[in-house]
Structure 1
Amino acid sequence: MKVVVLGTGMIGTTIVSEIAKFEGIESVMAVDVRQESIDNCLKIARNPKVIGKTTSLSIEEDFINVLEGADVAVGCLPHSLSLTAVKAAIASKCHLVDLVGSMFIEKMELHTQAQEAGVTIIPGCGVAPGITNFLAAQGIELLDEADEAVLICGGVPRWPVPPLWYQVVFRLESVLGLYTKPAVAIKNGEIIEVPPLSELESLTFPEPVGACEAVITDAHSTAFTLKGKVGNLTEKTVRYPGHWEKMKVLAELGFLDHNPIEVQGVMTAPVKFSEKILSPKMKGVSNEDVTVVRVEVNGTKDGKAKTYTWEMVDVYDHERNISSMAKTTALPAALAAKWIAEKKISETGVVPIETVIVNDRFAPFLEALKELGIHIEMKD
């Protein structure tokens, strides 16, 4: 079985390392635009199955050139390249597990093409979207009638420092996208858009997190796939107390706007200026982080009120020497790719993770994640 991993940043490198360890994997091609990134990936993976390849990854043909002949690919790319990767995977007749959950409607429009090509495309297969999605779907399946599903996730520093009490693990550009884009949710059975940074909620997670806050962020595919199965559904992102209020002030003042303005004769988007200013303020004092997940589904079972809750508190992985967010994002995608290769996932088309890791596949997938070091507990 031949695997291609598109992108060798922190997540891509983790996926390369983990997939190469799986039985039945013949080779793993690590693809990136930068040779330096590939060299670092090969150094970390330290596996003879892994080879590297540089390419521009700017047009669909670039992707096709590296996907042809492969069995499964995993996309670890910026959002702007995700749809191109999906199209190329279909054209190459290569299964694809994609970390990116955005542009879901555009990807679903390719469902029939993917089916005709006989390939499986799983979009948004990380921690959120990803783990949160199939936990919510399973909770809904367990109920006779589901009233509400709340999907909560967030990555926070193990040792937070002022003024923002947050450290960037991946791309700040992606983080700020959460703060500026309207969030899709389900309210009273209908899909709606909620303003960014809205519905602030205080909550608590077990140590080492403690008190924190969450606001509504985009529910990605679940707003569409679970509509009609649950009355209300929202996804929320966690930060330490005070962070959201400070970011909301910046948003209200226009510092997160994308429309360019003139500064001393140069046209600049305020958000790009803000990225430069905020980046050093979000470095943190340590690479150690914590990822939290809580998915709660309420409804009725056998005529009685019933709630299903799953929770995860995951810390920096010292054995692998990777952040918790890297681990909890990479391993679900690596495992899904493995299951496709083993034909444990056989559906073709564009199939969101919450439509395949449910019912009979749910417990085995959770157990496999546990064996890889991700522990998700069902709470009474």
Structure 2
Amino acid sequence: MPLQSILVLGLGKVGTLVGVLLEKTGFQVVGAARSEKTGLSFETKKIDMADISQVVDLMKAHDAVVSCLHYPFNLDVAKQACLHKIHYFDLTEDLPTTQAIIKLSSSADSILAPQCGLAPGFIAIVGASLAEHFDKVRNLRLRVGALPQHPTGLLGYAFNWSPEGVVNEYLNDCEVIENGVHKWVSPMEWVEGLVIDGIQLEAFTTSGGLGTMCETYLGVIENLDYKSIRCPGHVKLMNFFFHELLMRENRKMAGGILTNAKPPVKKDVVYVHASAEGQQNQQLVREEFVNAYYPVDIDGQSWSAISWTTAASLCAIVEMVHSGSIANKGFIKQEDIALEAFLKTSNGRLYNREPHGGSIAG
């Protein structure tokens, strides 16, 4: 059934942009947040997100709900969406939350689509597209990083994303496939160098970026891993901070210290670097998808690269559900979404823009 009305829970930077993009796409949008929101082009309501009964009362009037909330809220929202046959989408990187939502999906009459952001999300769609070109895949390497365009200091970083999310990525174990074996490895390891647009960078293991890909490709791909991209020297300092100074023992304090030291910047860049190696017609071949995405103006307002790449990915998937190009119930794996179809949606086309951004009119 086509979607008409969509509820967006959480109106931070990404949640607000999700609402803006969905409305521009033609959906009826209502946003909900813990505090009053004014000046937006769509209707908003103030509710207590911790009171699931308030959330449910609002959800019932809509065909779909998009959770842009902090991940501990997501499972309760997903349960209620499943119970009331409402399509569900979120941006979570948290693996236990996703596994719990997968269990719900076995009896769901609606779509349950977590992990619809950038990583996990878009990077899995790109990786799966690369893998399809091969008779046999030896290595599938996926790397993503959101950095300031003009980094300063030894860390070369700015917390344009949730500090809680970044801290979890740096401290939670990481899924990989290594030599055909599904493994869990330590974060902030396997450090490598890479160059994008002539800029020297580094990448290292972080958690959550692969979504369900290890389960999907076990026995199919020999080596599969995800790493975050940062400025050279970043991982050494973060290992010192979390492990030698024992900040891993207080994640909330660690996030506060880091955000205070490296607040968000307006001029950021999102790097995406995906590569696949394997056999094509009995020859060993390497293919790559590499791009740098910059802030864009939408209806006269500038949106950071991390905000729009995250929001546009989710909105493109909502579009595909609406058009019927994705199954209309059950769990959606990001790697099952066709990149070509994704990039043809109104929001997916944002990823085809010139690498240095631009303006999008209403």
TM-score (norm 1): 0.86
Separation in 1, partners of 2:138, 2:53: 45
Measured in 2, the distance between the counterparts of 1:60 and 1:345 equals 28
Q: Is the 8 A contact 1:73 1:97 kept in 2?
A: yes
CA distance in 2, matches of 1:173, 1:54: 24
1:307 shift after superposition: 2.2
Quote the residue 1:217 is aligned against.
206
SS in 1 for 2:248: coil
1:240 maps to which of 215, 219, 231 = 231
Aligned residues of 1:5 and 1:28 also touching (Cα < 8 A): yes
- Structure 1 segment 175-194 matched on structure 2, within 5 A: 175-194=166-185
| 1:168 counterpart (159, 170, 183) | 159
Could you list the per-position Cα deviations for residues 179-201 of structure 1 after superposition, in whole angstroms to 9, with x for gaps in the alignment?
11111111122221111110111
- Once the two structures are superposed, residues 99-144 of structure 1 have per-residue CA deviations (whole angstroms, 9 ceiling, x without a partner) of 1132232221112122xxx211111111111111011112222211
1:345 and 2:326 correspond: yes
Which residue is equivalent to 1:227?
Answer: 218
Q: 1:106 aligns with which of 100, 103, 115?
A: 100
Q: 1:52 aligns with which of 44, 47, 51?
A: 44
CA displacement at 1:160 relative to structure 2: 0.7
Q: Distance in 2 between matches of 1:167 and 1:371?
A: 26
Q: 1:76 pairs with 68, 71, 78, which one? A: 68
- For the residues of structure 2 that align with 1:62 and 1:300, how far apart are their CA atoms? 54
- Any unmatched runs of 5+ in structure 2? 355-362
State the secondary structure of the residue aligned to 1:65.
helix
Q: Deviations over 1:208-262 (max 9, x none)?
A: xx1111101123221222222211110000111111110011122243323xxxx
3-state SS of 2:164 partner: helix
- Whether the 8 Å contact between 2:278 and 2:285 is mirrored in structure 1 is yes
Shift of 1:63: 3.0
1:315 maps to 294
1:345 to 1:67, Cα distance in 2 relative to 1, 3 A: same
Unaligned runs of 5+ in 1: 259-268
- Matched residues in 2 for 1:163 and 1:307: separation? 33
Q: Does 1:297 align with 2:291?
A: no
Where does 1:1-380 land on structure 2 (aligned, <5 Å)?
Answer: 1-23=4-26, 25=27, 27-35=28-36, 38-39=37-38, 43=39, 45-46=40-41, 50-102=42-94, 103=96, 104-114=98-108, 118-206=109-197, 210-218=199-207, 219-258=210-249, 269=250, 271-283=251-263, 286-319=265-298, 320-355=301-336, 357-358=337-338, 362-368=339-345, 372-375=349-352
Q: Give the partner amino acid of 2:262.
A: M
Letter in 2 for 1:322: W
Aligned residue number for residue 263 of structure 1? none
Structure 1 CA distance for aligned equivalents of residues 82 and 144 of structure 2: 31
Cα distance, 1:101–1:281 mapped onto 2, change above 3 Å: closer
Deviation at 1:349, TM superposition (A): 0.7
Deviation at 1:273, TM superposition (A): 2.9
Distance 2:12 2:302 in 1: 14
Percent identical residues: 23
Count of matched residue pairs: 345
Once structures 1 and 2 are overlaid, which stretch shifts more, 196-205 or 134-143?
134-143
* Shift of residue 353, structure 1, vs aligned partner: 1.5
Alpha-carbon shift at residue 29 of structure 1 (Å): 0.8
Distance 1:155 1:375 in 2: 18
Tell me which moved more, 362-371 or 331-340: 362-371
Query: Given the superposition, is the C-alpha separation of residues 144 and 60 from structure 1 closer, same or farther in structure 2, using an over 3 Å criterion?
Result: farther
2: CA distance, partners of 1:87 / 1:80: 13
* TM-score with structure 2 setting the length: 0.90
